[in-house]
Structure 1
Amino acid sequence: MKTLSKIAFCLSLCLLGNQAFAKDKLIVWESDQNGIQALTKVAKEFENRYDCEIELSQYDTVHQIEKVIELNSKNERSPDVFIMMSDKLGMAIHENAVSPLEFMNEDHEQYLKATADAFKLDKTYYASPRSVETLVVYYNKDVVEYPFETFNEYIDYSKKHAGTEKYGLLAKFDNFYLSYGILSGFGAYIFGINADGSYNRDDVGLNFNNASDGLSMISDFAKNHMPKDMSTDKGWDLMDELFIKGKAAAVITGPWSLQKFAQAGVNYGIAPLPLLSNGKSPRPFFGCKGYAVNAKSENKSLAMKFIQVINEEKNAIKRYEATAELPPLKTVLSNPLILNDDFASGIAIQAEKADPMPSIKEIGNVWQPMNDALYQAISSKHPDTKKLLDTAVENIKAQYDK
């Protein structure tokens, strides 16, 4: 028995020894291989500095929070650090999937205020801004020397080239994300703002002011100045194809198109969205992606340190160079490398004339009703745009708390 006791004692010491020398491990999710490539070197340096292990994995940004929630609910190993989109903050908090980031109480001043605020609720920050994106105009310099300043000028270009299958401006206006800027330029908004700065889900302003005039403009432009297939599932590929071939002077899209156009050798430029028929500027969404810490992480403190390191200026610039996703750090935006980058400066300029994506969970109720209204407006000969928007708002509110 004494021998068995000694063996058991030795095994216990071995187990305790293994635990004592086991390194802390962080699982970090990035959006794609470009993002992973940008983090690899800094992750190695972090491992050496903090005697830990970092596992970099790829997962689609759009669905990261949903996957984190799913894994947490099953008590399965989930990432310590992941990318959260600002419009999903409400969902993440509701599902207890994210931890407050105490360091952001001071570090928020390093970022554009609107981007830090996008991850803030009740004076608490839940993510550190990673990148900001918004819609811009890509124009083909081999087709037009300079971008036009107004939608009407792009319409005139299309009319001038009628019958030649050449177009002035293309965009997927049947998609609410793409069309919101026009509606907001006519006075629409998604949710009103309470006195404390929070969103009021009961104040839906998508049929407010002259929003119906904006929907009428979208309807007319899509039906009369773009190919019919633009408002179908083929529209995305068709838009890119026509732009690359020089048959479209300009397109409205986001940072995700940059690599494709560059690889195709398009001689493109970047410009803000053109003025609307009412003379005002569109206010598209600007979206933020942020690094968040999983509420179920066993290494929250280490995870927060890692986020602070990868968002340092030098590391953020390297990530931008690899991903073309612009970090909203003030020092990055004032860096000569960024100031002299037409794409980065174009995004930064348009972001100043953009609305943040609402971060409450009810934003999820908005997309389908508004996409339905856009489809009806574009596909109908004589749409009642006011009625379509009234119906959309009713359908948005009808989904609350279901």
Structure 2
Amino acid sequence: MNRKTTAAAALMLALSLTSLAACGNNGNGSSNTNSGSAANENAAAPANTAAPTNDASAGGEASGMPEKPAELTIWPDDNAESVAAITAITDKYTEKTGIKVSVKPVKMNDQQQILSLDGPGGKGPDLFFQPGIGNLVLKGLVQPVKAEQPVLDAYTPESLTALSQDGQLYGLPFVTETYALFYNKKLVPTPPATVADLEKLAAEQTDAKKQKYGFLLEGLNFYYAWAFMGGNDGYIFKKTDTGYDTADIGLNKEGAVAGVKLIQSWFDKGYLPKGVNGDVVGGLFGAGQVGAVINGPWAITDYKKQLGDDLGVAPLPTLENGKHPTSFIGVKGWMLSKFSKSPEWASDLAAFITNEENALEYYEKTGQVPPVKGVLNNEKLTSDPLVAGFSEQVQYGQPFPTVPELDYVWDPMANALKFASEGRDVQQSLDDAVKQVQDKMAMSGK
């Protein structure tokens, strides 16, 4: 078995053994992390929903389907490249069914709030694009998707579980992802294997006055920072045999503290600029000013345009303890709005967008990998060395905790990381963050 085949097999193995969760991006290298949760690692795939749908998402009318609506509305994330690819796919659906599809881009992080306000008045979408189930059910924003088993069989079971709650499936998966190390082969012929190698690269190539850096990551973003906290044996909520103990928060305990101290040291040494964000990371790397960056597969297309064959992808370098950073693993999918007046046809559209043919087309145009079995086995994917880099990293990733309380973590941790980057005591910053999480949970009745 050659290296590329091995990498593809690793990706399939990781997807089949790891319960996937969600976290996405806004197209410029920064991540949407306000919502989303993983599926329980021990949970089974959701049972078939009891409603008729079409024949394996062919876009054709099937028996038992209600009268066609004149139009369906979907909210993709507002990344221009992704929107163009999705629009091309929905145009094909219109050709097959005669149903107009209105594609209205809305930032992923804003969708829940806007839907809460507009949905009851009939102004919301039929489908919206979200990273995992999160607390969408709790907020009353979704309804079970209408899909028969032949449709569901196309996806990895874990990706379906990631969009399910209490055995009910609320959306169909479209993208699975984690983050890894992109590197510029002109500046970094061999990717750093350890954090010590990464720091050596930073020491040798960083010149902040010239805006040149050895490596960059969004150090203030908990989505990325978590990899170094979890890799040091940190945890968010304690994992138990039956789920998660949300009363046991590990964000201010030894492992998490060690991870944040490591990131703080990179700010202290000038390896990371103060206030670094996704625009800085993506812009400087694409301009050839940075040796390596940590980012997700959504960045592949832009980076390939900018760096061409000089672009490489590798797993995150190992930590001082010899362990791999535990990048988050996520699934983003098309969720069926509670307010859709045509749930059967909206489900049909979701199945069409995510079927093997269209999921492969989306991968070819955006570089984002779908959890569709036929696509994962496709030669175009298995022979892609950039995908191979992510397939190696996904083996070391972790799903999000499968609890709505995860939503209360993001803002307090963003504050804690900001304070740490400014030199504040890490333990105190994390203690404060945990107190904020506990207060949010208490206010919500959790």
Please classify the TM superposition score into its range, dividing by the shorter chain length.
Answer: 0.7 to 0.9
**Distance in 1 between residues matched to 2:194 and 2:102, nearest whole Å:** 48
- 2:250 corresponds, among 194, 205, 210, to 205
Counterpart for residue 255 of structure 1: 297
Counterpart for residue 16 of structure 1: none
CA offset at residue 144 of structure 1? 1.7
Paired residues for 1:363-402 under 5 Å? 363-380=406-423, 384-402=425-443
Paired residues for 1:42-57 under 5 Å? 42-57=89-104
CA offset at residue 161 of structure 1? 4.7
Paired residues for 1:115-264 under 5 Å? 115-161=159-205, 167-197=213-243, 199-227=244-272, 230-232=273-275, 235-264=277-306
- 2:378 corresponds, among 314, 335, 339, to 335
Counterpart for residue 10 of structure 1: none
Residues 39-83 of structure 1: CA distance to partner in whole angstroms, max 9, x if unpaired?
Answer: 44543443354443322322222322322221123x132211121
Counterpart for residue 311 of structure 1: 354
Q: 1:298 to 1:183 in 2, by over 3 A?
A: same
- Native 8 Å contact 2:134 2:407 kept in 1: no
CA offset at residue 202 of structure 1? 2.0
Paired residues for 1:287-302 under 5 Å? 287-302=330-345
- Native 8 Å contact 2:360 2:375 kept in 1: yes
- Native 8 Å contact 2:203 2:271 kept in 1: no
Q: 1:322 to 1:195 in 2, by over 3 A?
A: same
**Distance in 2 between residues matched to 1:29 and 1:245, nearest whole Å:** 31
Is 97-106 or 306-315 further displaced after alignment?
A: 97-106
Counterpart for residue 12 of structure 1: none
Give the AA of the match of 1:365: Y
Alignment partner of 1:94: what SS?
coil
CA offset at residue 142 of structure 1? 0.6
Q: Which runs of 5+ in 2 are unaligned?
A: 1-65
Counterpart for residue 14 of structure 1: none
- 1:320 corresponds, among 363, 372, 391, to 363
**Distance in 2 between residues matched to 1:246 and 1:36, nearest whole Å:** 27
What RMSD, in angstroms, separates the aligned Cα atoms of the two structures?
2.7
**Distance in 2 between residues matched to 1:268 and 1:34, nearest whole Å:** 19
Alignment partner of 1:270: what SS?
strand
Counterpart for residue 27 of structure 1: 73
CA offset at residue 101 of structure 1? 2.1
Q: How many residues align?
A: 374
Counterpart for residue 13 of structure 1: none
Alignment partner of 1:250: what SS?
strand
Residues 324-344 of structure 1: CA distance to partner in whole angstroms, max 9, x if unpaired?
Answer: 322111221121101122333
Q: Which runs of 5+ in 1 are unaligned?
A: 1-19
**Distance in 1 between residues matched to 2:148 and 2:252, nearest whole Å:** 36
Alignment partner of 1:92: what SS?
coil
- Native 8 Å contact 1:174 1:231 kept in 2: no
Does residue 66 of structure 1 match 2:66?
no
Alignment partner of 2:182: what SS?
strand
Paired residues for 1:58-97 under 5 Å? 58-73=105-120, 75-86=121-132, 89-97=133-141
Counterpart for residue 7 of structure 1: none
**Distance in 2 between residues matched to 1:348 and 1:56, nearest whole Å:** 31
CA offset at residue 23 of structure 1? 4.6
CA offset at residue 110 of structure 1? 3.5
TM-score (structure 1 length as normaliser): 0.83
Task: State the identity as a percent.
Answer: 27
CA offset at residue 85 of structure 1? 1.7
**Distance in 2 between residues matched to 1:187 and 1:82, nearest whole Å:** 35
**Distance in 2 between residues matched to 1:269 and 1:56, nearest whole Å:** 33
Give the AA of the match of 1:357: F
**Distance in 1 between residues matched to 2:90 and 2:410, nearest whole Å:** 37
Q: 1:104 to 1:193 in 2, by over 3 A?
A: farther
**Distance in 2 between residues matched to 1:244 and 1:54, nearest whole Å:** 34
Alignment partner of 1:111: what SS?
coil
Residues 339-392 of structure 1: CA distance to partner in whole angstroms, max 9, x if unpaired?
Answer: 122333333332332122345332222122212222232222xx5433432332
Q: 1:28 to 1:239 in 2, by over 3 A?
A: closer
- Native 8 Å contact 1:114 1:356 kept in 2: no
CA offset at residue 163 of structure 1? 6.2
Residues 269-314 of structure 1: CA distance to partner in whole angstroms, max 9, x if unpaired?
Answer: 1111111121110011122211111112111111111211221111
Alignment partner of 2:304: what SS?
helix
CA offset at residue 108 of structure 1? 4.8
Counterpart for residue 98 of structure 1: 142
TM-score (structure 2 length as normaliser): 0.76
**Distance in 1 between residues matched to 2:174 and 2:350, nearest whole Å:** 9
CA offset at residue 242 of structure 1? 3.9
CA offset at residue 169 of structure 1? 1.9
Q: 1:58 to 1:238 in 2, by over 3 A?
A: closer
Q: Max radius of gyration: which structure?
A: 1
**Distance in 2 between residues matched to 1:243 and 1:39, nearest whole Å:** 27
**Distance in 1 between residues matched to 2:148 and 2:216, nearest whole Å:** 40
Is 290-299 or 204-213 further displaced after alignment?
A: 204-213
- Native 8 Å contact 1:104 1:128 kept in 2: no
- Native 8 Å contact 2:287 2:306 kept in 1: no
